[in-house]
Structure 1
Amino acid sequence: MLNRVILIGRLTRDPELRYTPAGVAVAQFTLAVDRQFKREGEENADFIPIVTWRQLAENCANYLRKGRLAAVEGRIQVRTYDNNDGKRVYVTEVIADSVRFLERGEGGQNLERQQERPSHTTFQDEGQPIDISDDDLPF
């Protein structure tokens, strides 16, 4: 099974940052994603609710603003609750595990660079030849 979504769009409002009773950060915002084809009488964008957690939530709240272009990667989640009238309400949202800031921020800095990045990666020597013997290959 696969539940994966990638969206690129603009924020319709500043992210709203809150904390759970356990102190875990959660931010919510809406992403306006343009449709390729427009039918008469319809909106030309879909408005997708996005939820981020922990450090990603704090980064989004600190560096994203209304109108900024962002790429979101995550999964679709549908949850339900009963409202005050006793009616069941269904909420569909994207739980993001990656948000890339696609525009430069105030003063020209690239907002994507302000996300936490590990000091090293698996491909640290990318572009350099590596020594692999035939015994290392699984085939």
Structure 2
Amino acid sequence: MNRVVLVGRLTRDPELRYGQSGTAVTKFTIACDRRSGDEADFIQIVTFKKTAEACAENLKKGRLVAVEGRWQTGRYESEGKTVYTNDCIADNVRFLDSSNQGNSGNRSNSSNSNDPFVDDGKPIDIKDEDLPF
């Protein structure tokens, strides 16, 4: 079985292209921290069709994503040398943070945010009668 699940932050904005048949293809790289926390792996992600278009439209450098897909190796010739590739072909990409967060991943709330659940670091004022349980 070839299944991969990754969580990481984009190291650059996605690149959207269209193949000869008109199929959308997006490539981007995510940095996935290792358990030690001292190192990261930089993994190229490839998406197709509607997923590719959604990623190109919604993702920017610094966004946190979860990617589910399969690992694919390949090779091609370039200037007489064989180049080997390792990519994650994504079936599913989930956007794990809001699009208005900064590139560093820190929360940067704008004053015009309409999201009542944005964590601005202040305590939430909820009365017991407001709770549904």
**Structure-2 separation of matches of 1:72 and 1:83:** 29
Q: Residue 60 of structure 1: which of 52, 55, 61 is its match?
A: 55
Listed as ranges, the gaps of 5+ residues in structure 1 are 110-139
Q: CA deviation at 1:108?
A: 5.9
Matching residue of 1:92: 86
TM-score, normalised to structure 1, is: 0.71
Matching residue of 2:35: 36
TM-score, normalised to structure 2, is: 0.74
Matching residue of 2:3: 4
Matching residue of 1:73: 68
Letter in 2 for 1:21: Q
Alignment of 1:106-117 (within 5 A): 106=100, 107=113
Letter in 1 for 2:75: T
Listed as ranges, the gaps of 5+ residues in structure 2 are 101-112, 116-133
Letter in 1 for 2:88: V
**Structure-1 separation of matches of 2:22 and 2:66:** 26
- Does 1:103 find its partner at 2:97? yes
- Does 1:22 find its partner at 2:17? no
Identity of counterpart residues, as a percentage? 55
Q: Residue 50 of structure 1: which of 29, 39, 45 is its match?
A: 45
Name the CA shift for 1:18/1:108 in 2 (closer, same or farther; >3 Å): farther
Q: CA deviation at 1:105?
A: 1.9
Q: Please state which structure has a larger fraction of its residues in helix.
A: 1
**Structure-1 separation of matches of 2:114 and 2:81:** 48
Q: CA deviation at 1:31?
A: 0.6
Q: Deviations over 1:22-53 (max 9, x none)?
A: 11000000010001126xxxx61000000000
Spell out structure 1 runs of 4+ moving beyond 4 A.
Answer: none
Q: Deviations over 1:42-82 (max 9, x none)?
A: x6100000000000000000001100000000000001101
Count of residues paired in the alignment: 103
Q: Name the SS of the counterpart of 2:35 in structure 1.
A: coil
